[in-house]
Structures are given as structure tokens and as C-alpha cells.
Amino acid sequence: MRRTLVLVSLAVTSMVALAFLIPLALTVREIARDRALTTAERQASALGPVLVVTEDPASLERAVASTQAGAAKRMTVHMPDGGLVPKSTGGSGARPEQLAEAGRRGRAYTARVSGGYALLQPVSLDAGRTAVVEVFLPDEDLSRGVWKAWIVMTAVAAALVAGSVAVADRLGARMIRSTRRLAEVAGDFGDGELSARIEPDGPPELVEAGLAFNAMADHVVQLLSAEREMAADLSHRLRTPLAALRLNAEALGDGPVAEQTREAVDRIEREVDQIIRTVRRPTGRGSCDAAKVLRDRIAFWSVLAEDEGRSCELIGAEQSASLPLPGTELAAAVDALLGNIFRHTADGTGFAVTLHQGQGITGILVADGGPGIADPDAALKRGSSGGGSTGLGLDIARRAAESTGGYLRIHRSVLGGAQVQMWFRTKWLPPARRSRGLVRRRHSRPPEGRRSRAS
């Protein structure tokens, strides 16, 4: 914007300067020409009274020499008998037809001659005779001082243009500074810094935009707070059925099944407590070790997989892989994908989780040997499900990936079922760049005739 303002100011002031400079330059040239011709005409007219009084060559020579043009050897008197005064001028620059034209007109006449112009001033004598006074004007006399005036005018115009550009640049810098500050605060707010606010300044429009942003941010914080409280209240309501479930589990007595049931109840209770603590304490941007999170979640799900006769494999999680994402969010995304496998595939269906680290990006690939996903587009819509579930599982994983500037894709896995790919950027991006960095999702459809799942 700053560059645009400077270019607009440069274009406008340049056009205005040219609109005044070109006519003024032509006027200056005409003024210089008229000044030279007027001076020559005045000097030629000064010989009229002398010619009327006497035609003596000596007297005429003295009269010619007394003028500025005569002293410069640029004045010649053409007598009616064809004589020239003074003779030392070396002849006339005007042609005979030009002299005749001046006599016919009876007034001063300017004619083009070699090297300049000749001012021909006719003087009427007795007996109808006419003498012509010729004043030679070189081309440089007609343009004397013009170039200097043009240079001065050009310098003044350039100074005016430069001044207007400098003023436009300062105004643009002030506007850009306010705009960038608003963009930075908006980016910080979008990245999770909910306390980010701006001190409005700059043009009135940007001040209004800053005030509107602050009002919007306050409203969003209020909505998030209300949403967190509602989620905490809903989670807290689960404690009552959990207490009853724990009593029933305790009544089962001893044995492997009873022990597994009590352990499952304990895990559910811990998860509910974690949800309550999380929603009551808003978290900002965080980071985690993706390899550690995957090892923990696979260890959790492997117990259930063993009970259902499923093969479970974790690949590529030997080394740490840092992600700009809180561990709880990554764990929730992984649990959503693995939970889909257990809900929508038959017992004995194996699955594999692969951690892939690339240049600036990390991928988590969850593949299974089930029927696949018939309609990936519909499966990724929040709240939409073709398998009788809430329809939030894939949406949770997608939002986790996109929160880092990454994306989610659905393909056919080598195991025969679906492969859900979560790709995370390992470096945080501003919201504007993040939105441009998202890659459009491309999905592959499974062969027809297989049972599909979606969540």
C-alpha cells in the first residue's frame, strides 16, 4: 500500500507539473523571441527620423553606429538607389524579394535568413521613395536565457514532485504502520493469545477497525469462556454414572474380567477429570513429542486390540519428533482415529500407525485393514457420519493438523482399508500464511461393494 500511495502521488504530481511546465516553457520561449524582436524594432525605428532629415552616407553611418545593433555590425540601411549603409557590413542577409515585401507592407517585417532572422523596417522618404532598415537577429539572441529558465522551472517542478512524494510516503508509512500492528495483533489472537488487544491509531478508518477488533476479541473470549464452562459442567455430570459403574465393577468380585473392568472404569474417570481440568484452564500454544504421545496411545489401545485379536504396529516412533501442538490435542486426535478403527471394523482387523518426519513437516499415518471410507468428503464434515457415530472423529484430527498449518488426507492403505494421513508443520505460521499454506485435500475412493465407515 505504501508503494502504491507513493506511485499514485508521483503520477498525479508529475502530470500536474507537466501540465503547467510545458505551456510555461513555450511561453518563456515566445517571451524571449518577442523581447529580441521588440528591441530590434526599436533600434530600427530610431533611424527613421535620421533618414527623413538626411541621406548623407557619413551621417547615416554615425547614426547606425550609435545603436547597439549597428555597433555589433548587425544593422544595414538599404537606400532607394540600391546603396548600403554602412558598406562595411559585407552585404545584406535579406533577399531582394524580402526587401520588396517589406516595402509593400509598409511596416516592420521579419524574414528568415541564414543563421537567424532579419527585421526589415521600411522608412518612407520624399517623392515616394522607401528605404529599408535591416537588423539581423542570430538564433541565439531569440533564445537567450530560455534554457536557463527551462532548467530552473524543471528543478522547481522536480522539487515539488519530490516533496509531494515524500509527504505521501510519510502518510503511507503511518498508515502501513497502523495496519501492520493491527495484522500482528490479529495474528497473535488467531494463534491463541486471547489477551492480545490493539491501541487504535492512524486514520479514522483504521481506528474504527481497531475498536471493532477489540470488541470482537472480547466477545470471542466471552464465548470461549462460556463454552468451556458448559463443557466442564457436562463432563462433571458424568461423575454420577461413573460412580454407579464403579460400584457395579466392585461388585463383580475377583477375576481377570472384573480386574479389566475396574481398570477401564479408572481410565474413564481419569479422562473425565482431565477434560474438566483442561476446559477450565484455557491453554495457549504448546508443543509435544509426537513419538512419546504415539507410544503412550498405542500402549493404551493395544490392550483392547489384544482382547479383540487385532494386530497393532507402531512404526518410526523410536526418535523424538517435536510438534507445535499440545500433547492433549495430539492424543485426542490419535484416539479419535484409533477409536474409529475399533468402532467401524470387525474384530481381528489389524492396524498400523506410522510416524514420518520430513523437512519442516511431520506426518502421522493411521492405516487399517477394514472396508475403507466410501465418501471421504462427507466423512470430514463435522457432525456427519455414515456409521452411526457422532461424526466428530475425523474433524478433530483435521482441526489438529490445520492448527499448525498442515492438512489431513484420506487414501487407500496397503492393508486394504483406509489410511488417514495427518500432516503437521513443525514451525508455526501466521494465520495469513497458514491459510495459503493449506493444501487442497485429495481423496481416493475405495472399490465399490465393500462395507464403508465414517466418523
> Do the domain assignments include residue 204?
no
Beta carbons within 10 angstroms of residue 111's beta carbon: 17
Last residue of a domain, one of 146, 164, 182: 146
Task: Tell me how far apart the alpha carbons of residues 78 and 51 are, in angstroms, rounded to a whole number.
Answer: 11
Q: Specify the pLDDT at position 173.
A: 78
The domain tally of the chain equals 3
> Do the domain assignments include residue 249?
yes
Both 269 and 360 in one domain: the answer is: no
Helix (H, G, I), strand (E, B) or coil at 4: helix
Both 354 and 442 in one domain: the answer is: yes
- Residues 339-378 pLDDT 10s: 889 888 888 999 999 999 988 899 999 999 888 887 777 6
CATH of the domain at 435: 3.30.565.10
Both 248 and 367 in one domain: the answer is: no
- Residues 69-96 pLDDT 10s: 888 888 888 888 877 888 765 445 788 8
CATH of the domain at 52: 3.30.450
Q: Which amino acid is at 93?
A: G
Both 292 and 279 in one domain: the answer is: no
> Do the domain assignments include residue 164?
no
- Residues 367-420 pLDDT 10s: 998 888 877 776 676 544 555 444 567 888 888 898 888 999 988 888 888 999
Task: Tell me how far apart the alpha carbons of residues 128 and 68 are, in angstroms, rounded to a whole number.
Answer: 29
Summary mean pLDDT of the chain: 80
> Do the domain assignments include residue 222?
no
Both 277 and 307 in one domain: the answer is: no
- Residues 10-27 pLDDT 10s: 888 888 888 888 888 888
Both 330 and 271 in one domain: the answer is: no
Residue 248 grid coordinates: 457395579
Last residue of a domain, one of 124, 146, 168: 146
Give the CA count within 13 Å in the CB-facing half-sphere of 443. Answer: 18
**In the chain, what percentage of residues exceed pLDDT 70?**
84
Both 16 and 126 in one domain: the answer is: yes
Both 10 and 111 in one domain: the answer is: yes
Residue 444 lies in domain: 285-455
Both 250 and 304 in one domain: the answer is: no
Peptide bond into 256 cis (omega under 30): no
> Do the domain assignments include residue 186?
no
Regions of the chain with pLDDT less than 70: 1, 88-92, 232-236, 239-240, 274-285, 378-379, 381-392, 427-455
> Do the domain assignments include residue 151?
no
Both 296 and 410 in one domain: the answer is: yes
Task: Tell me how far apart the alpha carbons of residues 122 and 80 are, in angstroms, rounded to a whole number.
Answer: 11
Last residue of a domain, one of 228, 254, 284: 284
Both 454 and 314 in one domain: the answer is: yes
Q: Specify the pLDDT at position 354.
A: 94
Both 258 and 293 in one domain: the answer is: no
